[in-house]
Amino acid sequence: MGILNVLSRNFWRRSRTRKPADRVPYPADFRGELAHRLDLCTACGTCSYVCSPTAITFVSEADGIVWRYDAGRCTFCGRCVEYCPTRALSFNPKAASPVARREQQLTNDLVPYQHCERCGAQLIPMPPETLVSLYHSPEGAAQAAEMHRLCDRCRSRLASERVKSGLKR
């Protein structure tokens, strides 16, 4: 009567399957929903360049550049996260929820233009957090920040002024 022993063992032990609410936890490095931090994005275009299925595109608008992401095309390969120079892109530890309509899979994030302190030209400056990690200290970042709030023409003018004032001594 081996089957009765098997049934008895199954009945008196805990179930081998989980209840619907008792989910398996996500692994630590799970590539879930793509998260985009606007305060770190410089609209450099690297993520769009390396994106395998062209899920990320950039669109120019009057007041900024729009980072456009199509979660339906995304293959979650992780190249954009790997190559983003400012680490603005990352994966959430949980997967995205199912959506009812296609439009809910499209994201448009506007990276707004700021203005050069000297000439007012449009620019997207380097984020302060990135400066801190580049110069390895908040003090060094603060010194470099004044350069990075200028457009590239004003920056080269400022640099040549400093060279000239240094040569005059």
Task: Report how far residue 69's alpha carbon sits from residue 52's, in angstroms, rounded to the nearest whole number.
Answer: 13
CA 100 to chain CA centroid, Å, is 25
Does residue 15 bind other proteins (CB under 8 A)? yes
**Residue 78 · residue 91 · CB < 8 Å:** yes
Does residue 5 bind other proteins (CB under 8 A)? no
Site of tokens 């080269």? 156
Stretch that binds other proteins, among 6-14, 68-76, 95-103, 156-164 (CB under 8 A): 6-14
First-last CA distance in the chain: 103
Min dist CB 3 to other proteins, Å, is 5
Smaller CB separation from other proteins, 19 or 168: 19
Sign of CA dihedral 37, 38, 44, 45: positive
Measured CA to CA in angstroms, residue 16 lies from 10, 12, 13, 24 at distances of 9, 12, 9, 13
Min dist CB 23 to other proteins, Å, is 14
Min dist CB 36 to other proteins, Å, is 39
Smaller CB separation from other proteins, 3 or 100: 3
Sheet holding 56-60, edge to edge: 56-60, 64-70, 106-112
Does residue 19 bind other proteins (CB under 8 A)? yes
Among 10, 52, 104, 108, binds other proteins (CB under 8 A): 10
- Counting residues that bind other proteins (by CB under 8 A) gives 11
Stretch that binds other proteins, among 14-22, 27-35, 73-81, 129-137 (CB under 8 A): 14-22
- Please give the residue ranges that form the binding site for other proteins (CB under 8 A): 3-4, 7, 10-11, 13, 15-19
